[in-house]
Structure 1
């Protein structure tokens, strides 16, 4: 069977060994219009109030959208969409690494960002569309706030993250690369690209959602100023 979290054998190699079409890995059941409406509403609320957790989002759904679902339903969609409240308090961890994936320490505590390409940060967000949704990954230079590279995907497989990273590395090589502990960034395929360039790897610890605040601000700007105006 295909093991998407395998630390040594990539998905491509596994499909070759098992003679399985790789496209079959990306199949997703069709999402009902009702669920799309719920997910779009959650995203609208989170874009306005990124410090809201599932409890407050549930209340906002009821008050503003007349959507009545249980808190567990809200939490499930937030996990699917990669949303986590930006709040300096313990919250459920929504960026879970694969069981066999290596976790790296956080390297940015008390570090001053003084020059371009000293630190790059990366993250994934959910972009709602009229008929569904896509995922957006971006790599941002923490000094200049410049978007070094980005990518879109209809799934959360790590290929689009790896391609965005490779495009970024054609321009420059950072001293430190920082991300959360999501499976896309802890996968061996992604880590190998960084290690090949001898880039220091930093990962936000549990409960440290404020660490990637530059990227979180970017997501709000992208959604409000570019995506959701039309």
Structure 2
């Protein structure tokens, strides 16, 4: 019997709320600099969490969908309040942080551990996958994020009214999430899981990201309200 609301599901919604509140908090007190900071956090944390498989809403899924999908909320806030050039800058920060993190952690694995070390095997299990995950992430992240920026601008020109923010936010993000999911899953997990599991991961990942995109809509309105009412403190 499929269990749609259990501990994992409640925790998933709690994590969703925590992510959105953290984004609003850092935006409120650090402005666009805070949003720039969130993108590296999201890309790094998501690529660690993604190695963990969980059951959500009766389907097998990788963790990390929430925090990764939150980066699309950030770039949409930047596009809405500051223009797409700032969104592009945030994407570049995400690229650089993920590449740097992967390089430094794999260099750490090459050190010969002492006889007192207890972490090498655990680190090896997680971070030895990072080069492949990073390649998958960079390809998927670059394609999907730049599509999201262009799509948001496209829909903004066609639905420019303030009340249509939900349209440009959702239409841009949902297609971008689909591109991201197919590219990342194919590169990261092809040959790792049997094809039926791979397809289930792809479908479940997209559905969860789609759900995140739907639920982040009130928060982009709040972020715009902060900006229009002058409640955002821009970091110097």
Fold conserved (TM > 0.5)?
Answer: no
Between 1 and 2, higher relative CO (CA 8 Å, sep ≥ 6) is seen in 2
More strand by share: 1
Q: TM-score, normalised by structure 2?
A: 0.23
Q: TM-score, normalised by structure 1?
A: 0.24
